[in-house]
Amino acid sequence: MTSRNTVQRSIIEGELRQLTNHPTADEVYEAVHAEHPTISKATVYRTLSRLSDEGIIGHVRINNGADRFDHQSFLHYHVRCVRCGKVDDVMIPVLGGIDEAAARISGYEVSGHTLQFDGICPACQASEASTAERPCA
């Protein structure tokens, strides 16, 4: 139950703090691995999972794609580009009272919600306008 401060843990958390674009576990692994080749993928997955369970980092579950991790752990929403897969924050106000409404209607004991937008990011909009169909960077 007690979480230990291992070398790997602080490296992985530190790396996530640099990667502000909602990296996947695998992207975190690549970054970590580049500087610390001995750290394994399993450790990165396990550590990110622990950090998010402990509320230290955010865990963004994405429809249709790998889970992502977030240096910000408070509740906020995301939009995903259906062309290039990029994920950005959407800082609209948190939906107040909606969990209670859902609980009332469904009979579930509701603990939270996820809201995800789908769309086309500015970069892909631009490249679509000019070059017909090309995935953006």
d(CA 51, CA 32): 16
Cα-Cα-Cα-Cα dihedral sign, residues 56, 57, 62, 65: negative
Residue 63's CB: how many other CB atoms inside 10 A?
8
The secondary structure element, H or E, covering residue 44 is helix 41-53
Nearer to DNA by C-beta: 54 or 100?
Answer: 54
Choose between 46 and 76: whose C-beta lies nearer to DNA: 46
Q: Counting contacts by CB under 8 A, is residue 56 touching its own copies?
A: no
Segment lying near DNA (by CB under 7 A), choices 3-11, 75-83, 90-98, 126-134: 3-11
Cα within 13 Å of Cα(71), Cβ side: 13
Please compute, for residue 133, the number of CA atoms within 13 A of its CA located in the half-sphere on the CB side.
1
Going residue by residue from 45 to 84, which x/- string records binding to DNA, judged by CB under 7 A?
Answer: xxx-xx--------------xxx-----------------
The CB-of-37 to DNA minimum distance in angstroms stands at: 8
Does residue 132 belong to the site contacting its own copies (CB under 8 A)?
no
Print the binding letters for residues 12-51 with its own copies: x by CB under 8 A, - otherwise: ----------------------------------------
Shortest distance (Å) from residue 115 CB to DNA: 19
Helix (H, G, I), strand (E, B) or coil at 103: helix
Q: Do residues 66 and 24 touch, judged by C-beta distance below 8 A?
A: yes
The footprint of its own copies (CB under 8 A) covers: 61, 63-64, 77, 79, 81-82, 88-92, 95, 98-99, 101-103, 105-122, 125
